[in-house]
Amino acid sequence: AQKITQTQPGMFVQEKEAVTLDCTYDTSDPSYGLFWYKQPSSGEMIFLIYQGSYDQQNATEGRYSLNFQKARKSANLVISASQLGDSAMYFCAMREGVQDDKIIFGKGTRLHILP
Amino acid sequence: DTGVSQNPRHKITKRGQNVTFRCDPISEHNRLYWYRQTLGQGPEFLTYFQNEAQLEKSRLLSDRFSAERPKGSFSTLEIQRTEQGDSAMYLCASSLVKFGWTDYEQYFGPGTRLTVT
């Protein structure tokens, strides 16, 4: 079974609108961390936001927020007031446990911001 | 701080040749990771180091692949007898991890794109 599922292969959004990128995860470990990374066409992976499984509040970083619904195993990324520079691939990822340090990535969502 | 750097950025090689990639992590980071990313997929974990010790290797890492981090600073990833299926982007990342930390992130380099012809 896939550990990280991103069901939207591509999305088109009008500039300045908010956008939600979906992510569901699967783990039986009570301790885990969830990440979102952005990958522009240049190829580097840019860290956006982190949510720990024990964090009580949803993580926020500037225009990025993570809608964490633990019971549903959902960790959607919300980008407010989208900009043309937000066009990129977005990956949801998870680190399980406290000993294991590998990150498991989803297949990504390609976001296109339209002017 | 110059971030994580990788060299070369692009490598074209013929099937059967050996290739070596280098990764220089952020200077104070004690952990270094290698990932592989094929077209249309997310990165897949290959291996990681805590200082000079290689702590975990993925089953994806066949015996043709070897990684080292001899002095706990830079790392090399060597692929012997390359195959066309090895064509991918090889990403390196680093992080600073202290005992008990859980909320740390991995900083990625720009990657080395390998094409095996």
Q: Please spell the DSSP secondary structure of B20-55, one letter per residue.
A: EEEEE--TT--EEEEEEE-TTS--EEEEEEETTEEE
A:B CB pairs within 8 Å: 58
pLDDT tens, position by position, A3-34: 999 999 999 999 999 999 999 999 998 889 99
The answer to whether A34 and A26 are in contact (CB under 8 A) is: no
Query: Distance between CA atoms of A111 and A115, rounded to whole angstroms?
Result: 13
pLDDT value of position B20: 98
- Give the pair of three-digit tokens for residue B50: 């805590």
CA distances (Å), B60 to each of B44, B57, B86, in order? 9, 8, 11
Provide φ and ψ at B17, rounded to 5°.
-80, 160
Query: Distance between CA atoms of A55 and A112, rounded to whole angstroms?
Result: 31
Query: Distance between CA atoms of A31 and A96, rounded to whole angstroms?
Result: 7
Confidence band of B59 (pLDDT split at 50, 70, 90): confident
Q: How far is A87 from chain B (nearest CA, A)?
A: 16
Query: Distance between CA atoms of A108 and B55, rounded to whole angstroms?
Result: 27
Q: How far is B67 from chain A (nearest CA, A)?
A: 16
Query: Distance between CA atoms of B94 and B108, rounded to whole angstroms?
Result: 7
- Give the pair of three-digit tokens for residue A83: 């900009």
Confidence band of A1 (pLDDT split at 50, 70, 90): low
Provide φ and ψ at B106, rounded to 5°.
-100, 130
| Bridge-based pairing state of the strands A10-14 and A109-114 | parallel
Of A8-22, A92-106, B50-64, give the lowest mean pLDDT range.
A92-106
Which of B48, B89, B105 is opposite residue A35, by nearest beta carbon?
Answer: B105
Q: How far is A113 from chain B (nearest CA, A)?
A: 19
Provide φ and ψ at B57, rounded to 5°.
-130, 135
Please name which of A46, A36, A48, A50 lies closest in space to residue A4, comparing C-alpha atoms.
A36
pLDDT at B1 over 80: no
CA distances (Å), A66 to each of A21, A78, A93, in order? 10, 6, 12
- CB within 8 Å: B103 and A33: yes
pLDDT value of position B102: 61
